[in-house]
Amino acid sequence: MAFTYFFRDMQTLEAIRDYALPALKSRRYINIWDAGCAMGQEPYSLAMVLRENMVRMIFRNVKIYATDIDGSNLFGKIIRDGKYPGEQVRRIPKEIFAKYFSPNGKPDHFIIADEIRKSVEYQKHDLLTLRPVRNNFGLIVCKNVLLHFKEAERINVINMFHEALSEGGFLAVEQTQKIPEKMKDLFEPVAANVQLFRKKG
Ligand SMILES: C[S@@+](CC[C@H](N)C(=O)[O-])C[C@H]1O[C@@H](n2cnc3c(N)ncnc32)[C@H](O)[C@@H]1O
């Protein structure tokens, strides 16, 4: 199973809230790609942060395309069910947990609220095919995946992200991942010390 957890990277989630959200909110459709989403903790964390900062009517326009190569073939069911055991939800901030999770009938298991679940749609996808799941994304999140690729693969995948983003779209990568030097003219950082970039040109 892939390593991940809810609210794994609060700094990036806060940067998305502070820098990307104001620009995305005015769009009719807010399409987001979470590439390498594992069992759903990352796209669901993002969905909860967005919902916390959007009225219900605007949140209805959010669609998170959650994709993963998923060697186990289990991620789709886990994400669609939206059910997680207690040990996986303990790091979630208390007020968020109280709002978006409820007991699911099975001892120490919890289910995510319908509204959040409906915003995330899973499909199996291999990034190295270099075919985006669609175009015109306002935001692409790809964290703790690129580090597994060779330099040339990383460059090809980031190029694909650039093409799949709409004008002024955002790309979030993990804290330890730098945009390769030769791609610096494609993206600009939105702030110091966060790995959130905006598509240039
Ligand atoms: C360490 S997990 C990261 C999960 C989440 N993004 C996070 O940061 O918590 C890495 C994920 O990348 C996925 N992955 C690896 N190679 C991939 C590929 N070529 N295409 C799509 N997903 C891939 C793995 O299946 C795994 O779920």
Q: What is the set of domains in the chain, with CATH numbers? A: 10-199 (3.40.50.150)
Residue of minimum CA distance from atom 11 in ligand 1: 36
Greatest C-alpha distance within the chain: 52
Query: Which residues, judged by CB distance below 6 Å to any ligand atom, belong to the binding site of ligand 1?
Result: 2-4, 8, 36-38, 42, 68-70, 126-128, 143-145, 148
Q: How much is the pLDDT for 170?
A: 98
- The pTM score is 0.97
Q: What is the CA radius of gyration of the chain?
A: 16
Fill in the DSSP letter of residue 132: -
- Assigned token pair, 169: 């779209």
Q: How much is the pLDDT for 53?
A: 97
**Amino acid in the structure at residue 71:** G
Residue of minimum CA distance from atom 10 in ligand 1: 145
What's the CA-to-centroid distance between 103 and ligand 1, angstroms? 28
3-state secondary structure of 13: helix
Ligand 1 nearest atom to the CA of residue 142, by list position: 6
Q: Of all residues in the chain, what percent carry a pLDDT higher than 90?
A: 89
Q: Which residues pair with 85 in a beta bridge?
A: 109
Residue whose pair of structure tokens reads 């059910």 in the numeric block: 83
Give the mean pLDDT of the chain.
Answer: 95
What's the CA-to-centroid distance between 74 and ligand 1, angstroms? 14
Q: How much is the pLDDT for 14?
A: 97
Q: How much is the pLDDT for 1?
A: 54
**Which parts of the chain fold into alpha helices (H)?**
10-15, 21-24, 41-52, 56-59, 75-81, 86-89, 94-100, 114-118, 151-164
Q: Are 5 and 43 in contact (CB under 8 A)?
A: no
Q: How much is the pLDDT for 127?
A: 98
- Assigned token pair, 172: 């979030």
Tally of CB atoms within 10 A around 94: 7
Residues of the chain with pLDDT under 70: 1
Q: How much is the pLDDT for 180?
A: 81
Query: What separation, in Å, do the N-terminal and C-terminal C-alpha atoms of the chain show?
Result: 38
Question: 63, 52, 55: which is closest to 29 by C-alpha?
Answer: 63
